[in-house]
C-alpha cells in the first residue's frame, strides 16, 4: 500500500459512523504490589495488597476502543450493562471516549454487568504476572423485554451507520445482547443493506447466523463446514471461498502466525502474512483490533486486500502492548506499515 493510498483511506475514518452491537463488559485490572505482601492473621494465607485499580470497556468495548484509536467520527454502541457499580464504571468509561453516543446503550436492573477482573502481580524490574481471572457473568436467558428493546435500537442505528459490527462475547447462549431474536433482525438488515459492511464475530460459533461477513479463525471455519481440524492454507482458502459463496459476503479468517485471509464470493482469496515478532507479546485484544480495522477500512472504501493489510499491522501493534487490552492508532499503523520490507508485502 502506497503512503498516498494509506492516507486516502485513513483520512475518511473521521467521516464514518460505525455501530457496535453485542456484549460489552468491564475489564478491571488489579495491580498488586508484591513488596507489600502480608499474611492474614485470620487465615494464615498470603494477602495481596492492591495498590492501583484501572478499568476500561472490554468485550465489544474493546472494538469500540480500537475505533476510537482509529479516529472514527461517530461510534454507536448497542448493548447493555447492569444497574450496578461495574455498570457505572463501564458507562463512565464509554462516555469518556471521543465520538461516542450512548443513546442506544441500555442500563437494566435485569442483568449484571459482564466483568473480567484481572489481578496482576507487579514484580519490580520484571514482567508482570497475571493471576487467575475473576469473572462476573449472567447465567440466565436475556429477558424478552430487553431483547425487544435491543432489536428496536439496532433497527434505529442500521440506517445511519456506515458499517455494523456484531460481537458475541458471552459463553452461554442466549444470555447476552445477541440472541436468536436479535439475529432475526440482523437477517432483515442484511437483506435491506446488501452493500453495507456487516462484520460478525462470536465465541459461540457463527453457525446459524444470517448472511453477513464472518470473521473467524481456521478451526471455527472448519467446524462450520465440517472440514478437518488442521487445514493447509490452500484448504482454508477453498473453505473460506465456499463460506463466502454461501453467505454472498466476504469471509475473513485469522490465522495467528500465518497471517489473515479474506475470501469474496467470487475471485481469488487474498492472504496477508503476519509480521515478525519484535519482542514479548500479549495476544489479548488482537482479534478485536482486527475486527475494528477490517470494518473501518471497508467502510472507508478499501479493497479486501487493503483492509487485510491494515488489520494485520494493527494486530501486530496490539500484541506488543503488555498487561493491557491494547489498541492501534492510525499513527502506529502508519509507522509500522511503511517499515515493512517490500519482499514481505508481496509474499
- Domain assignment present for residue 153? The answer is yes
Contacts of 317 (CB under 8 A, 6+ apart): 289, 326, 328, 332, 333, 336
pLDDT tens, 113-157?
999 999 999 988 888 899 999 999 999 999 999 999 999 999 999
CB 100 within 8 A of CB 61: no
Residue 253, burial from CB neighbour count under 10 angstroms (0-12, 13-18, 19+)? buried
pLDDT tens, 306-343?
999 999 988 887 765 656 667 888 888 888 887 775 54
pLDDT beyond 60 at 228: yes
CB 276 within 8 A of CB 316: no
Q: How confident is the model at residue 278 (pLDDT cuts 50, 70, 90)?
A: low
Residue 83, burial from CB neighbour count under 10 angstroms (0-12, 13-18, 19+)? middle
> Residue 21 and residue 158: Cα distance in Å, rounded?
10
Q: What is the pLDDT of residue 341?
A: 58
User: What cell numbers appear for 114 in the block?
Assistant: 459482564
> Residue 2 and residue 14: Cα distance in Å, rounded?
20
For 25-44, what is the mean pLDDT?
94
Question: For the chain, what is the mean pLDDT?
Answer: 91
Contacts of 86 (CB under 8 A, 6+ apart): 26, 28, 112, 113, 115, 136
- Domain assignment present for residue 105? The answer is yes
- Domain assignment present for residue 42? The answer is no
Beta strands 115-122; 134-136: pairing state: antiparallel
CB 118 within 8 A of CB 324: no
Mark out the alpha helices in the chain (DSSP H runs): 3-11, 60-70, 85-95, 144-158, 180-192, 218-224, 233-247, 286-299, 304-319, 330-337, 342-345
- Domain assignment present for residue 50? The answer is no
How much of the chain, in percent, has pLDDT values that exceed 90? 73
- Domain assignment present for residue 43? The answer is no
pLDDT beyond 80 at 282: no
Which of 239-243's residues contact partners 24+ apart within 8 Å by CB, and which partners?
240/269, 241/265, 241/269, 243/214
For 179-196, what is the mean pLDDT?
97
Q: What is the pLDDT of residue 328?
A: 81
**CATH number of residue 172's parent domain:** 3.40.1190.20
- Domain assignment present for residue 76? The answer is yes
- Domain assignment present for residue 193? The answer is yes
pLDDT beyond 90 at 226: no
Q: How confident is the model at residue 283 (pLDDT cuts 50, 70, 90)?
A: low
pLDDT beyond 70 at 171: yes
- Domain assignment present for residue 51? The answer is no
For 192-209, what is the mean pLDDT?
94
pLDDT tens, 79-120?
999 999 999 999 999 999 999 999 999 999 999 999 999 999
Q: What is the pLDDT of residue 319?
A: 64
In eight-state DSSP terms, residue 177 is: S
Domain total in the chain: 1
Q: How confident is the model at residue 227 (pLDDT cuts 50, 70, 90)?
A: confident
Alpha carbon distances (Å) from 34 to 27, 28, 31, 89, 123: 22, 19, 9, 26, 6
Domain region containing 211: 3-26+59-113+139-345
The residue that leads in pLDDT, 219 or 197, is 197
Q: What is the pLDDT of residue 346?
A: 45
255: left (phi over 0), alpha (psi -120 to 50) or beta: alpha
Amino acid at each position: 500500500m502506497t503512503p498516498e493510498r494509506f492516507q486516502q483511506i485513513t483520512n475518511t475514518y473521521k467521516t464514518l459512523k460505525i455501530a457496535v452491537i453485542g456484549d460489552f463488559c468491564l475489564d478491571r485490572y488489579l495491580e498488586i504490589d508484591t513488596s507489600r505482601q502480608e499474611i492474614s492473621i485470620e487465615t494464615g494465607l498470603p494477602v495481596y495488597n492492591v495498590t492501583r485499580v484501572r478499568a476500561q470497556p472490554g468485550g465489544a468495548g474493546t472494538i469500540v476502543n480500537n475505533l476510537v484509536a482509529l479516529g472514527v467520527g461517530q461510534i454507536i454502541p448497542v448493548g447493555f450493562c447492569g444497574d450496578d457499580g461495574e455498570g457505572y464504571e463501564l458507562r463512565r468509561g464509554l462516555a469518556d471516549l471521543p465520538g461516542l453516543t450512548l443513546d442506544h446503550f441500555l442500563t437494566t436492573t435485569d442483568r449484571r454487568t459482564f466483568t473480567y477482573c484481572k489481578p496482576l502481580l507487579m514484580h519490580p524490574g520484571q514482567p508482570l504476572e497475571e493471576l487467575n481471572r475473576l469473572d462476573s457473568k449472567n447465567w440466565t436467558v436475556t429477558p424478552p423485554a430487553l431483547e425487544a428493546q435491543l432489536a428496536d435500537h439496532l433497527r434505529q442505528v442500521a440506517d445511519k451507520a456506515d458499517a455494523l459490527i456484531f460481537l458475541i462475547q458471552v459463553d452461554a447462549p442466549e444470555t447476552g445482547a445477541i440472541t436468536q431474536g436479535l439475529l432475526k433482525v440482523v437477517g432483515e438488515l442484511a437483506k435491506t443493506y446488501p452493500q453495507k459492511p456487516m462484520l460478525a464475530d462470536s465465541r459461540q460459533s457463527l453457525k446459524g447466523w444470517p448472511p453477513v461477513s464472518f470473521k473467524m479463525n481456521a478451526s471455527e471455519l472448519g467446524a462450520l463446514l465440517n472440514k478437518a481440524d488442521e487445514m493447509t492454507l490452500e484448504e482454508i482458502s477453498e473453505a473460506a471461498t465456499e463460506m463466502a459463496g454461501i453467505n454472498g459476503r466476504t469471509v475473513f479468517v485469522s490465522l495467528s502466525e500465518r497471517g489473515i485471509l479474506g475470501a469474496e464470493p467470487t475471485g481469488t482469496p487474498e492472504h496477508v502474512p503476519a509480521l515478525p515478532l519484535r519482542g514479548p507479546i500479549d495476544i489479548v485484544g488482537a482479534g478485536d483490533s482486527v475486527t475494528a480495522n477490517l470494518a473501518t477500512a471497508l467502510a472507508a472504501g478499501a479493497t479486501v486486500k487493503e483492509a487485510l493489510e491494515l488489520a494485520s499491522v494493527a494486530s501486530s501493534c496490539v500484541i506488543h502492548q503488555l498487561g493491557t487490552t491494547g489498541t492501534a492508532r492510525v499513527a502506529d499503523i502508519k509507522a509500522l506499515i511503511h517499515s515493512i520490507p517490500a519482499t514481505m508485502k508481496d509474499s
